[in-house]
């Protein structure tokens, strides 16, 4: 199965993708995570993307689509893909169609997480992740069970994203409204879009996604 999780910054795409990976052995393909890894490794792509990401703007379509193609090639043909944060523009949606067709895959569901924009700044500015395994947490909504220790791997170091500040979030939201939300009609026309309430409790959101995958 190949699915897209679509929604603005902080909607819960990464949180829900991690849960699907654990439960179904699917692969999360997050262009944001791939770009952050490239920035950290100081590759040519990372050097180009760093300042763009810190401003909250979008990295070029060609770069992110190439990253997605490479990730898909590195996974087994039977492993399901969860696209998290990709596609984000009409050009990327078109590229994804070609990337999938070339690999004999088809898109099964586009799941839109509908959220209240006012709540997103709080979600994003409170977010942190385990530095070792990447498990996501939140100051208010999802603390580690033992304070200071990752539930998943026992790691004790955590990190915050440089673009998770109120000012950059506003740019990221504007980019979403201007360039990403307009791609929904492409998928609506194919009858594969399901909208779910991203403001619900995390477990409820997971339940709603599971119901769509089982439909």
Residues making contact with Mg ion (CB under 5 A)? 14
For residues 215 and 205, give the distance between their C-alpha atoms in angstroms, rounded to a whole number. Answer: 16
Instruction: Burial-class residue 81 by CB neighbours within 10 Å (0-12, 13-18, 19+).
Output: buried
Residue-wise burial string across 156-189, b where 16 or more C-beta atoms lie within 10 A, e elsewhere:
eebeeeebbeeebbebbbebbeebbeebeeebee
Q: Which CB, 24 or 138, lies closer to ligand AP5?
A: 138
Q: Which does 45 bind (CB under 5 to 8 A by kind): Mg ion, ligand AP5, none?
A: none
Q: Which does 27 bind (CB under 5 to 8 A by kind): ligand AP5, Mg ion, none?
A: none
For the CB of residue 33, give the shortest distance to Mg ion in the complex, in Å.
7
Which residue is catalytic, options 19, 27, 88, 123? 88
Residue 54 has a CB neighbour count (10 Å cut-off) of: 15
User: Is 195 annotated as catalytic?
Assistant: no
Q: Which of residues 134-193 bind ligand AP5 (CB under 6 A)?
A: 136, 138, 141-142, 163, 172
Strands in 158-159's sheet, in edge-to-edge order, are 136-138, 127-130, 158-159
User: Is 160 annotated as catalytic?
Assistant: no
User: Is 127 annotated as catalytic?
Assistant: yes
Q: Which CB, 76 or 82, lies closer to ligand AP5?
A: 82
Q: Which of residues 11-70 bind ligand AP5 (CB under 6 A)?
A: 11-15, 31-32, 35, 52-53, 56-59, 64
Q: Which CB, 180 or 191, lies closer to ligand AP5?
A: 180
Which residue is catalytic, options 103, 161, 179, 195? 161
* 8 Å CB contact between 165 and 127: no
User: What pairing do the DSSP bridges indicate for beta strands 136-138 and 127-130?
Assistant: antiparallel
Which residue is catalytic, options 27, 123, 135, 172? 172
Angle in degrees, CA 83, 213, 94, rounded to 5 = 35
Q: Give the CB-side neighbour count of residue 130, counting CA atoms within 13 A.
A: 19
Contact residues: ligand AP5, CB under 6 A: 7, 9-15, 31-32, 35, 52-53, 56-59, 64, 85-86, 88, 92, 123-124, 126-127, 136, 138, 141-142, 163, 172, 201-202, 205
Q: Please give the positions annotated as active site.
A: 13, 88, 127, 161, 172
């Amino acid at each position: 199965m190949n699915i897209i999780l679509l929604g603005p910054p902080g909607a819960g795409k990464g949180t829900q993708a991690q849960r699907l990976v654990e439960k179904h052995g699917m692969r999360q393909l997050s262009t944001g995570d791939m770009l952050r890894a490239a920035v950290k490794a100081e590759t040519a792509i990372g050097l180009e993307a760093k300042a763009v990401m810190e401003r909250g703007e979008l990295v070029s379509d060609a770069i992110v689509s190439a990253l997605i193609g490479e990730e898909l090639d590195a996974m087994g043909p039977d492993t399901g893909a969860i696209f998290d944060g990709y596609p984000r523009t009409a050009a990327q949606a078109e590229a994804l169609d070609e990337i999938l067709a070339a690999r004999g895959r088809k898109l099964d569901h586009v799941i839109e997480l509908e959220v209240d924009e006012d709540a997103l700044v709080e979600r994003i500015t409170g977010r942190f992740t385990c530095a070792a395994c990447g498990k996501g947490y939140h100051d208010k909504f999802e603390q580690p069970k033992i304070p200071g220790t990752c539930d998943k791997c026992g790691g004790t170091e955590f990190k915050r994203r440089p673009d998770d500040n109120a000012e950059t979030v506003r740019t990221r939201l504007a980019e979403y409204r201007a360039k990403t939300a307009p791609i929904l009609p492409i998928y609506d026309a194919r009858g594969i879009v399901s909208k779910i309430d991203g403001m619900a409790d995390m477990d409820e959101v997971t339940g709603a996604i599971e119901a769509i995958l089982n439909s």
